[in-house]
Amino acid sequence: MNNELGRRHWLKQTVMAAAGLGLSTQIFGRHSGCAEDELPFNNSTNSPIRIGSNENPYGPSALAKAAMMQAVAKSNRYPWETTTLLRKKLGEAYGLSAEHVLMGAGSSELLGVISAFAGRQNGNAIAAYPTFKLWFTAAEHFGLTVKTVPLTTTKVHDLPAMLSAMDGKTRMVYVVNPHNPTGTVVAKAALESFVQEASKTAVVLLDEAYTEYSDEPSLAYLVANNKNVIVAKTFSKIHAMAGARIGYALAHPDTITQLADWQPWSNAGAGAVALAGAMASMDDVDFQRSCRQKNDAVKTFVTEALTQLGMQVIPSHTSFLYYNTGTYSADVAAITSAAGIVGVRTYEKDTPWRRTSIGTMDEMKTFIDVLKRGV
């Protein structure tokens, strides 16, 4: 399809998608995937290039796909055995056990469950600004007032300021590491001492959705001896299974038992097909390695290209980039979206900072070509 045809096809699909929006809102609820940023975002699945939700463009892995196809045939049965096997496999992968693992329909379900658990006595939750805030509204309904603490000028979590913001009513502290939307990372030693301190009086929720894209290790080992630490992980990113909806929380067994009570049916959010795919994907280490390598190569290309265009790009430890469009002559979101590229998102209102996921090399070459052409 040439560019003009591709664009017309995309516009037609977008109109059709808009007509169906009432239905998709009914299915997915008010957020429909958009609640994490400050400005409305068109997350149409019909765009030729879709770089707004940090989806992994390379998967799922061949092993995961084969396992999921097989699982489809057995989907008339509840998948108890696979749930138990996967919890065991995940626990062991972190030097823990099945009892340290709670499954969910993506880690976002678990961020909600953990907020409900932490909010049971009312109080506040501390999080950065900006951060991944998909769970904020649910948390507020569950009794937590969310207090945000600005990132540092280099867009890193300001851990001392977060500690200072805690008070006698703080029930939960949320840290995403590496951070979404800025891609920055807090080194292990600093984060570990922050966790030790903050967890004395509150639940510390570490969101490790992107750890596999960085060189910093998971801090999941902390849950073995600390009942106030919970780590949220997902199969949506390095495992490329965002649509399968499967994630998990790691915590001390006593904490997992309590958290499980906040799920109407504990561990049942991840279905048979997702569970089978996740089991197989964990074994496909080559696939994960290749996703990371490709992501790193494209990230270097886009970082250099945006820098050449005069933009400040925050060094990223993730599968997306955060950059300052202030010196650029046009509205980056408008010109890319007119070219059928969905994914330039805003997390700090009234600022020129934007986030864009790292797609394939071809997708990102098109993205950069559009920016080079300008208006």
Which residues lie near ligand PLP (CB under 6 A)?
54, 106-108, 132, 176, 180, 207, 209, 234, 236, 242, 247
E strand segments, 159-294: 170-176, 203-207, 229-234, 247-250
Q: Min. distance of Cβ 184 from ligand PLP in angstroms?
A: 13
Q: Min. distance of Cβ 105 from ligand PLP in angstroms?
A: 8
Q: How many CB atoms lie within 10 A of CB 107?
A: 27
SS3 59: coil
Q: Please report which helix (H) or strand (E) contains residue 127, including its range.
A: strand 123-129
- Report DSSP state, residue 214: S
CA distance 154 to 119: 31
Q: Which is nearer to ligand PLP, 213 or 328 (CB)?
A: 213
CA distance 340 to 308: 23
Q: Which is nearer to ligand PLP, 107 or 228 (CB)?
A: 107
CA distance 275 to 75: 11
Q: Which is nearer to ligand PLP, 10 or 320 (CB)?
A: 320
β-pairing, 144-150 vs 101-104, is unpaired
Q: Min. distance of Cβ 76 from ligand PLP in angstroms?
A: 26
Q: Min. distance of Cβ 177 from ligand PLP in angstroms?
A: 9
Contact (CB, 8 A) for 332 and 375: no
Q: Quick one: CA torsion of 98, 101, 106, 112, rounded to 10 degrees?
A: 150
Q: Which is nearer to ligand PLP, 243 or 326 (CB)?
A: 243
Q: Min. distance of Cβ 364 from ligand PLP in angstroms?
A: 19
SS3 316: coil
Q: Hey, what are 135's tokens?
A: 């769970």
Q: Min. distance of Cβ 324 from ligand PLP in angstroms?
A: 21
Residue closest to ligand PLP (Cβ):
106
Q: Which is nearer to ligand PLP, 246 or 339 (CB)?
A: 246
Q: Which is nearer to ligand PLP, 156 or 370 (CB)?
A: 156
Q: Which is nearer to ligand PLP, 112 or 119 (CB)?
A: 112
Hunting for tokens 């540092």 — which residue is that? 152
CA distance 290 to 105: 26
Q: Min. distance of Cβ 131 from ligand PLP in angstroms?
A: 8
Buried b (16+ CB within 10 A) or exposed e, 112-142: bbbbbbbbeeebbbbbbebbbbbbbebbeeb
Q: Min. distance of Cβ 231 from ligand PLP in angstroms?
A: 11
